[in-house]
């Protein structure tokens, strides 16, 4: 049993201190709550349930990629292709900070179930969609549910086990969940080819019953006594900072739309893109002003946002997830476009990344639990990722199997070593009431980072092909290659020109890996602000709590 808990109180503004005194815990209550943990089969059941849900969420984000051609054929909706993915991302990103406030005010288990139920509803509606517009709306519903799943996973693990036991559990959970991102296209292709694309969404439904059976009847302790449900509901606009959410959501949506459209549907210099960026910036400034005056009750309190460990961890996590997702997209493109592999084999060729990633996350989690220090492994992870990205930037049509296997193993080790450590850093720094809010911030940083760098990657690819094809395949139209796509250009290119096109494609993808190397360098720089914390330390410094006794 962990007895490291320090004495903390919950931040309360003066005007509301009297009203909230009865609903917020005193010091002894927080300590008592933090000493209640679960173990044995109960912990195994809870961990399995939340990990399965996280796996499904990432699977759902990637499984649709190979089903889109059949969907557009059925609905005659080629113009809506971009919305099948972006509607999910927009809804999810806009709600992630609010999800943190929900977990901070309501029971963690039932809040998690609510988000998962909305995700399941969205999956059902996707499977039943009778038109392209219905599918777009259904994907947005699924995104609303997905917004709180990963935040809930982190929060429930924090509520279930003491700090010293969390790194390995978080690493294992995130490692397994990342497998869903990789195998999604394989499973989507198989279901679309041998059954129907609708099963790409129906597959989520029976799993819901399994998850409910695993954790519905298990008590998951809270680390603090939360206000009664009706107390929160009666003052929900203030407790959840709904005005802040109304300001934040359009800012996030405008920014993500600008990244989605820029360089694809509109030039970056077009009035539409400039207007979206300006609108996002202005709305975000208003949001920050509101949050400043809102104080401790803000959706994103400045006490949390200004904590160097928090914002450096968010930046590190954002850059790390950006390079992971860029590789998840572009390594299969290399195998399919340059090596001529099928979608199935391009997924199998990712095993050298997946297995070391999972093992690396588990092994480093165990080391952090044993030694207590996380920063050395954050730095090592960044260096591994930088080296592996640089090596992968040498991929060419004639790259040998030994090289692409070895480089991916190095990448998997680096990604696995660092994937859970920003979460560990934040949870070991903040007081229990602040943790769910910070988890929402971490998830938003990963969503924003991935959207930004995927957009940059696509721009790099399109620009690179237009630049390099005239050099290596002067007889080939760059526009024809771009329209045909990564797996279709071989049908529009003659055998005599194919070699030059493959070289151009390789060098273009190499530039994306250079971008990943840049993300690794950024991870290394911001890691120094994550603090030299020891999660095994018995004594917490007063500065690690942003709350004071009223």
Q: Say whether 351 sits in a helix, a strand or coil.
A: helix
Alpha helices for 203-270 (secondary structure H): 204-215, 229-234, 236-239, 242-261
Instruction: Give the pLDDT of residue 28.
Output: 38
Instruction: Quote the mean pLDDT of the chain.
Output: 83
Helices (H) and strands (E) in the chain, counts: 25, 0
Instruction: Give the pLDDT of residue 21.
Output: 41
Task: Specify if 234 maps to a domain.
Answer: no
* Rounded distance between C-alpha atoms, residue 306 and residue 303, angstroms: 6
Same domain? For 453 and 542 the reply is yes
Which CATH number characterizes residue 124's domain?
A: 1.20.1250.20
Same domain? For 324 and 204 the reply is no
Nearest to 147 by CA among 127, 170, 172, 122: 122
Q: CA distances (Å), 84 to each of 70, 90, 139, 191, 253, in order?
A: 13, 11, 7, 18, 15
Instruction: Give the pLDDT of residue 532.
Output: 85
Q: Say whether 531 sits in a helix, a strand or coil.
A: coil
Task: Specify if 236 maps to a domain.
Answer: no
Question: How many other C-beta atoms can be found within 10 angstroms of the C-beta atom of residue 35?
Answer: 15
Token representation of residue 155 = 């929060």
Same domain? For 268 and 167 the reply is no
pLDDT for 539 beyond 70: no
* Rounded distance between C-alpha atoms, residue 259 and residue 276, angstroms: 9
- Which pLDDT tens digit goes with each residue over 459-498? 888 888 889 999 998 888 888 888 877 777 888 888 888 8
Same domain? For 271 and 176 the reply is no
Same domain? For 263 and 150 the reply is no
Contact 218, 46 (CB under 8 A): yes
Instruction: Give the pLDDT of residue 77.
Output: 67
pLDDT for 155 beyond 50: yes
Task: Specify if 230 maps to a domain.
Answer: no
* Rounded distance between C-alpha atoms, residue 459 and residue 473, angstroms: 20
Scanning the structure block, which residue is given the tokens 């237009």? 466
- Which pLDDT tens digit goes with each residue over 8-64? 444 444 444 444 444 444 433 444 444 578 888 989 999 999 999 989 988 888 787
Out of 172, 192, 223, a domain closes at 223
Task: Specify if 61 maps to a domain.
Answer: yes
Question: How many other C-beta atoms can be found within 10 angstroms of the C-beta atom of residue 144?
Answer: 19
Instruction: Give the pLDDT of residue 316.
Output: 95
Task: Specify if 15 maps to a domain.
Answer: no
Same domain? For 269 and 358 the reply is no
Same domain? For 311 and 293 the reply is no
Out of 191, 223, 255, a domain closes at 223
394 vs 172, higher pLDDT: 394
Q: How confident is the model at residue 523 (pLDDT cuts 50, 70, 90)?
A: very high
Task: Specify if 229 maps to a domain.
Answer: no
* Rounded distance between C-alpha atoms, residue 473 and residue 451, angstroms: 31
- Which pLDDT tens digit goes with each residue over 248-262? 989 988 988 888 787
First-residue to last-residue Cα distance in the chain: 29
Q: CA distances (Å), 471 to each of 57, 439, 468, 496, 504, in order?
A: 42, 47, 5, 15, 8
Supply the range of the domain harboring residue 58: 36-223
Task: Specify if 23 maps to a domain.
Answer: no
Q: How confident is the model at residue 169 (pLDDT cuts 50, 70, 90)?
A: confident
DSSP 145: H
Residue 262, φ and ψ in degrees, nearest 5? -60, 125
pLDDT for 238 beyond 80: no
Structural domain total, the chain: 3
Token representation of residue 539 = 């004594």
Instruction: Give the pLDDT of residue 525.
Output: 95
Burial of 212 (0-12, 13-18, 19+ CB in 10 A): middle
Per the rule left: phi > 0, alpha: psi between -120 and 50, beta: everything else, 295 is: left
Burial of 322 (0-12, 13-18, 19+ CB in 10 A): buried
Nearest to 429 by CA among 271, 313, 346: 313
Token representation of residue 128 = 């039943």
- Which pLDDT tens digit goes with each residue over 276-315? 999 999 999 999 999 888 887 888 888 888 899 999 999 9
Same domain? For 363 and 411 the reply is yes
Same domain? For 365 and 462 the reply is yes
Token representation of residue 402 = 């030994």
Out of 223, 257, 276, a domain closes at 223
**Residue 437: partners with Cβ closer than 8 Å, 6 or more residues away:** 97, 100, 101, 104, 299, 300, 301, 304
343 Cα distance to chain centroid: 24
**Residue 488: partners with Cβ closer than 8 Å, 6 or more residues away:** none
Same domain? For 448 and 529 the reply is yes
Nearest to 299 by CA among 286, 317, 287: 287
Same domain? For 344 and 364 the reply is yes
Task: Specify if 48 maps to a domain.
Answer: yes
Burial of 401 (0-12, 13-18, 19+ CB in 10 A): exposed
Nearest to 220 by CA among 426, 25, 33: 33
Burial of 491 (0-12, 13-18, 19+ CB in 10 A): exposed
Asked whether the whole model's pTM tops 0.85, one would answer no
Instruction: Give the pLDDT of residue 12.
Output: 45
Same domain? For 115 and 183 the reply is yes
3-state helix, strand, coil in the chain (%, to 5): 80, 0, 20
Instruction: Give the pLDDT of residue 81.
Output: 66
CA dihedral 202, 419, 343, 192 (to 10 degrees): 10
């Amino acid at each position: 049993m962990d007895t490291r808990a320090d004495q903390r109180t919950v931040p309360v503004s003066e005007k509301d201190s009297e009203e909230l005194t009865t609903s917020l815990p005193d010091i002894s209550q927080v300590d008592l709550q933090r000493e209640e943990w679960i173990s044995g089969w109960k912990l195994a059941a809870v961990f399995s349930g939340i990990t399965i849900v996280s796996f499904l969420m990432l699977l759902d984000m990637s499984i649709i990629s190979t089903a889109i051609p059949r969907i557009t054929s059925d609905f005659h909706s080629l113009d809506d292709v971009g919305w099948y993915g972006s509607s999910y991302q927009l809804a999810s990103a806009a709600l992630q900070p609010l999800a943190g406030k929900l977990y901070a005010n309501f029971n963690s288990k039932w809040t998690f179930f609510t988000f998962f139920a909305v995700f399941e509803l969205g999956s059902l509606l996707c499977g039943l969609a009778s038109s392209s517009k219905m599918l777009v709306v259904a994907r947005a519903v699924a995104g609303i549910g997905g917004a709180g799943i990963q935040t809930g996973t982190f929060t429930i693990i924090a509520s279930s086990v003491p700090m010293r036991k969390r790194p390995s559990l978080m690493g294992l959970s995130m490692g397994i969940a990342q497998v869903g991102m990789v195998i999604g296209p394989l499973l989507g292709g198989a279901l679309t080819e041998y059954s129907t694309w609708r099963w790409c969404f129906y597959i989520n439904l029976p799993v819901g019953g399994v998850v409910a059976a695993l954790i519905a009847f298990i008590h998951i302790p809270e680390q603090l006594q939360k206000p009664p449900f009706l107390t929160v509901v009666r003052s929900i606009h203030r407790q959840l900072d709904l005005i802040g959410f109304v300001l934040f959501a359009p800012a996030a949506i405008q920014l993500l739309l600008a990244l989605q459209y820029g360089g694809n549907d509109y030039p970056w210099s077009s009035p539409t893109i400039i207007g979206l960026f300006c609108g996002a910036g202005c709305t975000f400034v208003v949001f920050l002003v509101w949050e400043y005056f809102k104080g401790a009750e803000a959706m994103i309190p400045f006490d949390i946002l200004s904590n160097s460990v928090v914002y450096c961890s968010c930046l590190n996590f954002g850059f790390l997830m950006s390079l992971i997702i860029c590789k998840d997209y572009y390594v299969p493109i290399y195998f399919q476009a340059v090596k001529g592999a099928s979608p199935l084999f391009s997924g199998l060729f990712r095993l050298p990344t997946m297995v070391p990633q999972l093992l690396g996350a588990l092994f480093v989690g165990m080391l952090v639990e044993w030694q207590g220090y996380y920063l050395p492994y954050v730095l090592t992870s960044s260096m591994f990722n930088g080296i592996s990205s640089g090596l992968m930037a040498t991929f060419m049509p004639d790259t040998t199997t030994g090289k692409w296997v070895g480089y991916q193993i190095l990448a998997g080790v680096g990604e696995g070593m660092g994937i859970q450590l920003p979460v560990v850093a934040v949870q070991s720094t903040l007081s229990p009431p602040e943790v769910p809010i910070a988890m929402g911030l971490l998830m938003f940083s990963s969503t924003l980072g991935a959207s930004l760098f995927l957009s940059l990657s696509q721009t790099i690819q399109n620009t690179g092909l237009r630049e390099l094809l005239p050099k290596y395949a002067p007889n080939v139209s760059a526009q024809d290659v771009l329209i045909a796509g990564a797996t279709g250009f071989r049908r529009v290119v003659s055998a005599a020109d194919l070699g030059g096109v493959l070289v151009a494609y390789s060098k273009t993808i190499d530039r994306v890996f250079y971008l990943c190397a840049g993300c690794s360098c950024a991870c290394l720089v911001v890691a120094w602000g994550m603090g030299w914390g020891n999660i095994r330390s018995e004594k917490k410094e007063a500065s690690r709590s942003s709350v004071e006794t009223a």
